[in-house]
């Protein structure tokens, strides 16, 4: 190793360590924000109980799904998810409502919690140490996501936008999504390192935690086709499918009713509070797709529309990827696909925005637009919980119109980011990454390929990618 190489390595290592410390700081802020929700108090009969009196989880903005689900999903009973079912008051048979890997995460943390309580003799609600241990696991997952994103950034300091994202302050511990983000980031890093099989495994396991990592295979398909190298994509796709099946098959075969609950619930779920559809029904006279919709009835028209709308946007993104003057970068197309899913889906839970953070940092490393979007998206949490507080105590909460106004603003900002990314795809000279002479740090098996099967629209002319002097430049 030469002296110059050694200095560059040392500088890169120092930068990485600083970024990881910044990520720890961001997670610490997230923990402080959620900690009030595991406060306890002593009841009149001397028992120690979780202090959610007077809707504190909403008024203090510390709500986390992990806390109520410990009881709702019967984890406190120590039973295996998907094997355990119960009947709601309306007669509906219920089970763990999350995909298998996320369900196993909750089960594993529950087992560790019970072992800790037995060894330490801790008193009080078991959910308190459960949430603390879960937060540690989720924090480690986010740190892994940051660590996987750093090598993919042409300038490592751009990842500070991920490490200190306002969305981390608010949503790192709102649900269990940091695990899926880590697996998706790991899959992208494996692809960038020319390891399509490992990439497929990580994306497949990620899809068994949350569906979205599987969508990254779509952009990879477009880019591999343009480069004339399909074998790596097939390797990644087949191993992703195999990994997903390996995670799901035991539960689907042994406990089919419990395993199917995630899919059943997503089918019957109406438009969620944060969705564009709920905003439209609130601000306009439009009653929605399925009227009337009775309890337990599937909103079939809404389900069909969201599917068709997402597929249509995917086709449009595919066309963008095929007609761009140069092969787009992986992160650019991946951001567009995940954003399309969130914008058209009937559910956009607040923590889903974490999915976009590493992709946004890689696709559009510009401080101002990203901070504006992330700031507004994080702020959305406060009127959202204010809305739920208002359902219990109208004098203390805010109106749904206040909440949904911020929802529309968040959606608009994401659309603007998509427009900015599309601009960099069609005008590579405006791409903040390619302006530095780097083609795509995440290209992996297609990096440096001069072959380009670009789709040329009728009446359009343009240079091939091989004629672009920046194409072969690598980090």
Span 147-183, pLDDT tens digits: 999 999 999 999 999 999 999 999 999 999 999 999 9
Is 1 part of a structural domain of the chain? no
Asked if omega into 288 is within 30° of 0 (cis), the reply is: no
> For position 371, what pLDDT does the model report?
98
Q: What is the pLDDT of residues 89-127, one digit of tens each?
A: 878 889 999 999 999 999 999 999 999 999 998 889 999
Is 59 part of a structural domain of the chain? yes
- Closest-CA residue to 301 (of 291, 289, 310, 313): 289
> For position 295, what pLDDT does the model report?
73
Contact 365, 153 (CB under 8 A): yes
Percentage, residues of the chain above pLDDT 70 = 94
3-state secondary structure of 469: coil
Distances (CA, A) of 473 to 306, 436, 447, 448, 466: 40, 9, 9, 7, 12
Please give the average per-residue pLDDT across 186-202, as a whole number.
98
Strand partners of residue 86: 94
- pLDDT higher than threshold 70 for residue 2: no
User: Across the chain, what does the average pLDDT equal?
Assistant: 93
Mention every residue, 6+ apart, whose C-beta is less than 8 A from residue 410: 353, 373, 376, 377, 380
The model's confidence at residue 463, banded by pLDDT at 50, 70 and 90, is very low
> For position 277, what pLDDT does the model report?
95
Is 473 part of a structural domain of the chain? no
CA dist 93 and 296 (Å) reads: 11
- Closest-CA residue to 124 (of 50, 48, 46): 48
Please give the average per-residue pLDDT across 410-424, as a whole number.
98
The model's confidence at residue 6, banded by pLDDT at 50, 70 and 90, is low
Strand partners of residue 94: 86
- pLDDT higher than threshold 90 for residue 364: yes
| Minimum mean pLDDT range among 85-99, 273-287, 354-368 | 85-99
Q: How many domains is the chain built from?
A: 1
CA dist 449 and 181 (Å) reads: 29
Bin 348: left if φ > 0, else alpha if -120 < ψ < 50, else beta: beta
Is 5 part of a structural domain of the chain? no
Mention every residue, 6+ apart, whose C-beta is less than 8 A from residue 307: none
The model's confidence at residue 343, banded by pLDDT at 50, 70 and 90, is very high
Residue 357 structural domain: 15-467
Is 8 part of a structural domain of the chain? no
Is 474 part of a structural domain of the chain? no
- pLDDT higher than threshold 80 for residue 471: no
CA dist 244 and 252 (Å) reads: 12
Per-residue 3-state assignment (H helix, E strand, C coil) for 218-252: HHHHHHHHHHCCCHHHHHHHHHHHHHHHHHHHHHH
CA dist 397 and 392 (Å) reads: 8
- pLDDT higher than threshold 60 for residue 472: no
Is 6 part of a structural domain of the chain? no
Can you give the pTM of this predicted structure? 0.93
Is 254 part of a structural domain of the chain? yes
| Minimum mean pLDDT range among 13-27, 379-393, 458-472 | 458-472
CA dist 216 and 334 (Å) reads: 6
Q: 120 burial class (0-12, 13-18, 19+ CB within 10 angstroms)? A: exposed
């Amino acid at each position: 190793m030469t002296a110059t190489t050694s200095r560059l390595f040392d500088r890169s290592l120092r930068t990485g360590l600083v970024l990881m410390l910044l990520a720890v700081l961001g997670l610490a802020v997230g923990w402080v924000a959620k900690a009030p929700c595991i406060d306890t108090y002593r009841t009149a009969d001397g028992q120690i109980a979780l202090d959610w009196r007077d809707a504190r989880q909403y008024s203090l903005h510390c709500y986390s799904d992990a806390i109520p689900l410990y009881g709702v999903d019967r984890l406190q009973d120590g039973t295996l998810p998907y094997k355990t079912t119960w009947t709601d008051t309306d007669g509906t048979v219920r089970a763990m409502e999350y995909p298998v890997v996320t369900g196993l995460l909750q089960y594993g943390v529950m087992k560790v919690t019970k072992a800790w309580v037995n060894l330490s003799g801790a008193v009080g609600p078991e959910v308190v140490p459960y949430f603390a241990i879960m937060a540690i696991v989720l924090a480690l997952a986010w740190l892994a996501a940051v660590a996987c994103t750093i090598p993919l950034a042409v300038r490592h300091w751009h990842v500070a936008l991920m490490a200190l994202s306002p969305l981390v302050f608010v949503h790192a511990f709102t649900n269990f999504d940091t695990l899926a983000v880590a697996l998706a980031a790991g899959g992208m890093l494996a692809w960038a390192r020319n390891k399509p099989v490992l990439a497929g495994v990580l994306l497949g396991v990620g899809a068994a935690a949350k569906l979205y990592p599987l969508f990254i295979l779509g952009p990879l398909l477009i880019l591999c086709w343009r480069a004339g190298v399909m074998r790596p994509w097939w390797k990644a796709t087949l191993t992703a499918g195999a990994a997903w099946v390996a995670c799901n098959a035991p539960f689907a075969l042994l406990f089919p009713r419990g395993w199917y609950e995630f899919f059943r619930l997503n089918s019957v779920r109406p438009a969620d509070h944060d969705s564009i559809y709920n905003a439209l029904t609130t601000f306009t006279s439009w009653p929605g797709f399925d009227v009337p919709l009775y309890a337990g009835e599937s909103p079939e028209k809404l389900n069909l529309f969201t599917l068709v709308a997402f597929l249509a946007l995917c086709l449009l993104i595919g066309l963008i990827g095929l007609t761009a003057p140069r092969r787009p970068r992986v992160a650019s197309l991946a951001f567009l696909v995940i954003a399309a899913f969130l914008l058209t889906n009937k559910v956009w839970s607040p923590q889903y925005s974490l999915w976009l953070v590493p992709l946004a940092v890689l696709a559009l490393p510009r401080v101002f637009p990203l901070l504006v979007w992330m700031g507004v998206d994080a702020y959305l949490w406060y009127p959202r919980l204010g809305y739920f507080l208002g359902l219990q105590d109208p004098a203390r909460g805010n109106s749904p119109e206040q909440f949904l106004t911020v929802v529309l603003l968040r959606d608009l900002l994401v659309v603007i980011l998509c427009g900015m990314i599309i601009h960099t795809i069609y005008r590579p000279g405006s791409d903040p990454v390619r302006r530095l002479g780097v083609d795509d740090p995440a290209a992996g098996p297609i990096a440096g390929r001069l072959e380009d099967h670009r789709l040329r629209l009728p009446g359009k002319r343009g240079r091939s990618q091989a004629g672009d002097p920046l194409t072969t430049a690598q980090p």
